[in-house]
Chain A
Amino acid sequence: MHDLPQQLANGLILGAMYGLIAIGYTMVYGIVQLINFAHGEIFMIGGFGALTAWLLLPSGTSIALALPLMLLLGMACSVLVGMGAERFAYRPLRGGPRLAPLITAIGLSIALQQAIWAFYPDAKKARPFPQFGGDPIDLGAFSIQRGELFLITAAPLCMIVLALFVSKSRTGRAMQATSQDPDTAKLMGINTDRIIVTAFAIGAAFAAIAAIAHGLKYGQVDFKMGFIAGLKAFTAAVLGGIGNIYGAMIGGLVLGFTEAMATAYIEYIPGMELFGGGAWKDVWAFVLLILVLLLRPQGLLGERVTDRA
């Protein structure tokens, strides 16, 4: 247990990233009860958008200077795709059988992934993402990579902004109202269509931020990266209680910690020597999801989700 602080830090960073993606799932789910499987791909597209911005800049630009522009373009791409998906794929199916939008979401997810694979230059394999140079910052008990600093600042900032937006702004409160009861909200004069688009847009923007963090952390973006990340983020959303925005972040952190702990320490449990290490971390995340569904299906923060179907 010598490197526990380091593992905790790793878990925190990983968890913050999952949490950021999970917000997209949870907001959309809270309002339209739809699992947007394509969210993982929206995340991935944000990463490629940011990479595009970097490639458009003259070579030699400092990454710190480029970052705002990368954020902007990444978010723009994600938001555009997210809103487009809502408008042209999901909206026509609203009010129909529940299976239809789920299948659309799958098709969309495959199509987006393949579109990047086929049309983005050299995207058939992972593309390198710009890096902050320099040594890891040593904080005594543990150290963090410079690239991870971005996430450590961005994630809390995003959460505060989002919390303020949802609780204080007019649109945010309309969003809460819609998620509680869409029909009544409509009767109260809320344009629910606009609220739904807004939820998709906010989720996509956060996913783009997470994608840049992902790129900075791992040094590459990959057309496949949305699949597992999306799955994990959904797990995080369920962990925290789906539909609950704060829950998504907390769920992300719990999932991140679990993964870090499982990767580092499971092999020390007698009888589990062979199940440690990075190869099994996805399996443990999945086991955690099953356990949560078994023991506390409403999630850590969630109230019992009433069936509105």
Chain B
Amino acid sequence: MTTTHPTATAPARPGPAPTPGTLPLPAGTARAVTTAGAVLTLAATFLPWTWTRAFPGNLTVTGYPGGLQVLTLTGALLVLLFLASGHGVRGLRWLTPGGTTAPLVLLTAGTFATTWYAAGAISVTLGGVVNLEPGAWIATAGSLLALAGALGLPADTPAGTDGPSGTGAPAIQRLRHSLQAPAPRPARALPDWAEILLIAGAFAVVLYVFTYGIATEYGELFVGFLLLTGCAAPALAKAGLIRRVSRLTARHRNVSIAAAFVAAAAFPFLQSDNQFTSIAANILIFATVALGLNVVVGLAGLLDLGYVAFLGVGAYTAALVSGSPYSSVGLKFPFWAAVLTGALASLIFGVLIGAPTLRLRGDYLAIVTLGFGEIFRIGMQNLDGISGPAVTNGSTGIPQIPDLEILGFNFGETHSFLGFDFTRSANYFWLMLFFTVIVVSVFRRSDSSRIGRAWVAIREDETAARAMGINAFRFKLIAFALGATLAGLAGTVQAHAVSSIDPEQYKFVEAVPPNSAFLLAAVILGGMGTVGGPLIGAALLFLIPAKLQFIGEYQLLLFGVALVLLMRFRPEGLVADRRKQLEFHETGQLDVPDAKALAPVDGNGNGTTGGPDGPNDPGTTGPGKAEG
């Protein structure tokens, strides 16, 4: 692999000289150094890293990696596998249908970051580097060596596609260049059953990774997990694996969707600990509401800053007719009726707010919804019988919302099935999952319908859309009201799942999701207009504050800063919708997305998982759903 890429689509490409890596190393040396570093790192995980068990995860045992060592071990293993694949080892070449160097750079960086973070955390927690055993020193040295070696590997793409990248180019330019990867070569046709098996395998991996993340027991492990997955996910994208999987899922769309939900539904089976199931149920509520918001923000381009109020309307309505002893309405509706009432109430509020506002420019909607969110909270607080009519018990809220009972199945009790115990959280998790399916299907159906195309047209250029005969006001109102209804729907479940609601749960911004700002951030962080985006965004925004207690009081500050930086540097979010990507990275030319216009986006070294057909791409859909 000195002159041509053994795995490239056209090995006979009339070889331009290999583009040098970031560090000036001969290709062979670079590969040897990377291998040596990875092996060293791998071996070091079997040695003790510290002398005391005071550091969580027990890193003191020889021959048995624990805690952060497992992450480093995984990273080093992946590096070795991809290295072998890049070298053309038979049986492993399927790992890198796209780039080989870019994934290696990212993976070694991830291993390096995780290992050094572990060593740093040990030193800080225990007070000084003397607490590091030789194992930790070997691991840090090995991971550094591997990273240096990977940086010396020749880049995957020939020079000159993005400005200077030869030997004379600045290092940062060469680094950026070596993070570029070619599109994966077309996959060999497999029988249907094999492809479906592959899809199932991919979902199983995603589910396992997600479960691992939720079940991390201490903050350090979660940081390590974030560091490693944060590098490994883009590495897989660069290697072309994600594009491959999304092609498979596109071919077997129904199977994939089913698989995603089976994977999500399997989550409670993998968890014996009720605490984590409860986290997962909360994430699912948060994610479903975020997905509803995505209809409004992502598809129709309307900025709704008071979305949580619609969730609140649904929740309050459901709570009032739930038969709670504190409800001022002495009615007990069956659940289906409560869901309909809640959704209807949200719909009414959505139309009331939307109708006057949506005739005007989009900015008005932002501020009116922001106001509505605040007014909803104040209103619920005031309807306590002292400041206003007695409806909601004011700031006490409505506690003791009874558990649901559908067809004799009580959601509050623990049920045993196949030897597994399913707690209250698991029951609500599944109920919420059912509503997630509804929201996802509404999202997807409307996205690819006439209405969805009208939304896109309005979002891109309202004046032009009107000239084409689209009744902009009506379609915007449909989007807004639909979003409100979906939130109301989720609210009715939320009321029962949390069993006690009060006005403070529905604020604009607060440390605990869901609130309007976090919902919006979940949509933006994940990627507007995609299904997977909000689910991933919601999971991250829920887990990061929950796991990283040490951020503590600076959490919201970091949140605000992160939002600003995100808009500045990656406005299209983690799971990028191709259309949005083009929109945010304007190239100054007409809407002809040629390869060159897309190249800088792909070359950012970020996890561009979006397949060729953007929002309808189940590749972005599937893993995301499994996240729930």
Residues facing A in B368-403 (CB within 8 A) are 368, 370-372, 374-375, 378-379, 381-382, 387-389
Residue of B nearest to A285 (CB): B371
A191 surroundings in chain B (CB, below 8 A)? none
Measured in the bound complex, the distance between the Cα atoms of B556 and A98 in whole Å is: 24
Measured in the bound complex, the distance between the Cα atoms of B603 and A285 in whole Å is: 49
Q: What 0/1 pattern do residues 562 to 573 of B give for CB contact below 8 A with A?
A: 111011100100
Asked if A92 is at the interface (CB within 8 A of a chain B CB), the reply is yes
- Secondary structure type dominating chain B contacts: helix
Residue of A nearest to B366 (CB): A102
Q: A33-B363, A107-B562 are in contact. Are A93 and B567 (CB under 8 A)?
A: yes
Asked if B305 is at the interface (CB within 8 A of a chain A CB), the reply is yes
Task: Flag the segment in A49-57, A111-119, A178-186 that touches B.
Answer: A111-119
Q: From residue B118, how far is it (CB to closest CB) to chain A in Å?
A: 28
Q: What 0/1 pattern do residues 81 to 116 of A give for CB contact below 8 A with B?
A: 000000001001101111111111011111111110
Q: A98-B362, A282-B375 are in contact. Are A107 and B560 (CB under 8 A)?
A: yes
Which of B356, B359, B367, B389 has most A Cβ within 10 Å? B367
User: By the criterion CB–CB under 8 Å, are B560 and A118 in contact?
Assistant: no
Measured in the bound complex, the distance between the Cα atoms of B302 and A102 in whole Å is: 11
Q: Give which listed residue, A34, A95, A103, A234, contacts B567 with CB less than 8 A.
A: A103
Interface size on B, residues (CB 8 A): 55
Asked if A163 is at the interface (CB within 8 A of a chain B CB), the reply is no
Residues facing A in B556-602 (CB within 8 A) are 556-557, 559-564, 566-568, 571, 583-584, 586
User: By the criterion CB–CB under 8 Å, are A279 and B382 in contact?
Assistant: yes
Asked if B509 is at the interface (CB within 8 A of a chain A CB), the reply is yes
- Secondary structure type dominating chain A contacts: helix
Q: From residue B92, how far is it (CB to closest CB) to chain A in Å?
A: 42
Residue of B nearest to A103 (CB): B567
Q: A103-B524, A294-B356 are in contact. Are A118 and B554 (CB under 8 A)?
A: yes
A235 surroundings in chain B (CB, below 8 A)? 367, 371
User: By the criterion CB–CB under 8 Å, are B367 and A115 in contact?
Assistant: no
Q: A228-B374, A283-B375, A290-B368 are in contact. Are A107 and B557 (CB under 8 A)?
A: no
Measured in the bound complex, the distance between the Cα atoms of B368 and A282 in whole Å is: 13
Residue of B nearest to A297 (CB): B360
Q: A96-B571, A238-B364 are in contact. Are A307 and B463 (CB under 8 A)?
A: yes
Q: A231-B371, A231-B374 are in contact. Are A290 and B557 (CB under 8 A)?
A: no
Asked if B357 is at the interface (CB within 8 A of a chain A CB), the reply is yes
Residues facing B in A259-281 (CB within 8 A) are 274-275, 277, 279-280
Asked if B520 is at the interface (CB within 8 A of a chain A CB), the reply is yes
Q: A93-B567, A99-B297 are in contact. Are A293 and B368 (CB under 8 A)?
A: yes
Measured in the bound complex, the distance between the Cα atoms of B382 and A111 in whole Å is: 29
B382 surroundings in chain A (CB, below 8 A)? 279-280, 283
Contacts A93-B568, A107-B562 known; 5 new A-B pairs at CB < 8 A? A100-B571, A109-B560, A114-B560, A231-B370, A277-B387
30 interchain pairs, CB-CB under 8 A: A96-B584, A103-B520, A103-B524, A103-B563, A104-B564, A107-B564, A108-B560, A108-B564, A109-B560, A110-B560, A110-B563, A113-B556, A114-B556, A114-B557, A114-B559, A118-B553, A118-B554, A118-B557, A227-B508, A228-B374, A231-B371, A280-B382, A282-B375, A286-B371, A289-B371, A293-B368, A305-B361, A307-B361, A307-B462, A309-B461
